[in-house]
Amino acid sequence: MKVRPWSLLILAWLHFLGPIGNILLSSLIQHVSPFKYFSALVASESLLGLVEDFALIPLAGWAIYSCRKWSYPVFLGVAAVTVFSNVRQWSQSPEIFPVSLLFVTVVLDAILVGYFLIPEVRRTYFDPKVRWWDNQTRYAVRFAVGVDYEEAGTPKHFTGKVHDLSEGGVFVSIDAEVPVSATVCLFFKEEVPPITVSGTIVYRRNSGVAGYGIKFLHTPESAKIFRLWVKRLEKAKTAKTMQVDLKNDFQRWVIRLVTTGKGLVPELEQNVAAKRNNPSN
């Protein structure tokens, strides 16, 4: 598992918690308890108003978190509706909150929209190749696998060892030289019946456990077989690879942000190479 950019995660959670923050702030301004303010709001607001108050901002949070093409227009649309709603509400009842607070909220919304217009942030939503956290779960396994490879018209057969497996790919150590981008045929004999699937070598690793990352070239049948296989591994609580300690990762992100100013904008290029080096994509 890899972590989404912390900047996007924080913004998403701030939006998820937005309705609670609005209730607390509004109750403070009007000098009533949060519960009393909430009760009065529910009693006086229309259904559309309640949707605006409690659903739109969390919807924007879900859009931010999802990082998909549809997320971008949804977020911008919610931001526009929110600004319009705040201005309309203040113009109708200026006594509800001071104009200075309206100004601050509009400026914050403008800054947030500007952040999502930054090319690196926008690319996160429109280019799936840079979403390094979308890699499929990889399970730590150890078993032999047969590898067939044809070199200059000459078929060759090797026996390799699988070190991790996902629905989309596998990492195999082979005592042989095979070029990156070569197509191989893998034989998983430990399964009953044995499984055969083709794959493309997407990278070679020489440090640590040396071997090759292979991305499967699935047929509909093989995709179904490996999906069921991975479900069995998950049910058996097989150890996963590439796990992240969220607390330590967040601490490192904060320290790096404070000391270097980096991390506020997703750093895409250095993670694109890591995503390419994951055969489970």
Mean pLDDT of the chain, nearest integer: 86
* Co-location of 116 and 182 in the same domain: no
Q: What is the mean pLDDT of residues 230-244?
A: 84
Q: pLDDT band for 135, please (50, 70, 90 cuts).
A: confident
Is pLDDT of 270 > 60? no
* Co-location of 25 and 79 in the same domain: yes
Tell me whether strands 169-174 and 139-151 are parallel, antiparallel or unpaired.
Answer: unpaired
Q: Is residue 170 part of a domain?
A: yes
Q: pLDDT band for 272, please (50, 70, 90 cuts).
A: very low
Quick: pLDDT tens for 3-34. 789 999 999 999 999 999 999 988 998 889 99
Q: What is the mean pLDDT of residues 168-189?
A: 90
Is pLDDT of 273 > 90? no
Q: What is the mean pLDDT of residues 23-48?
A: 89
Which of 198, 220, 235 marks a domain boundary?
Answer: 235
* Co-location of 14 and 85 in the same domain: yes
* Co-location of 17 and 114 in the same domain: yes
**Percent of the chain at pLDDT above 90?**
48
Q: Which residue type is seen at 241?
A: T
Q: How far is CA 8 from CA 3, 175, 241, in A?
A: 10, 43, 24
Which of 132, 157, 172 marks a domain boundary?
Answer: 132
Q: Is-above-0.85 flag for pTM?
A: no
Instruction: Look up the domain containing 221 and give its range.
Output: 139-235
Contact 271, 132 (CB under 8 A): yes
Q: pLDDT band for 1, please (50, 70, 90 cuts).
A: very low
Structure tokens at 4: 């989404």
* Co-location of 82 and 15 in the same domain: yes
Quick: pLDDT tens for 68-124. 999 999 999 999 998 898 888 888 888 777 888 889 989 999 999 999 999 999 999
Give the integer Cα–Cα distance in Å for 101 and 26.
Answer: 11
Q: How high is the pLDDT of residue 243? A: 59
* Co-location of 118 and 168 in the same domain: no
Is pLDDT of 214 > 60? yes
Which of 114, 132, 150 marks a domain boundary?
Answer: 132
Structure tokens at 246: 């969220």
Give the integer Cα–Cα distance in Å for 66 and 243.
Answer: 20
Q: Is residue 259 part of a domain?
A: no
Q: How many domains does the chain have?
A: 2
Burial class (CB within 10 angstroms; exposed 0-12, middle 13-18, buried 19+) of 181: exposed
Is pLDDT of 242 > 70? no
Q: pLDDT band for 189, please (50, 70, 90 cuts).
A: confident
Is pLDDT of 198 > 90? yes
For residue 179, how far is the Cα from the chain centroid?
Answer: 31
* Co-location of 127 and 24 in the same domain: yes
Quick: pLDDT tens for 227-236. 999 999 999 9
* Co-location of 110 and 177 in the same domain: no
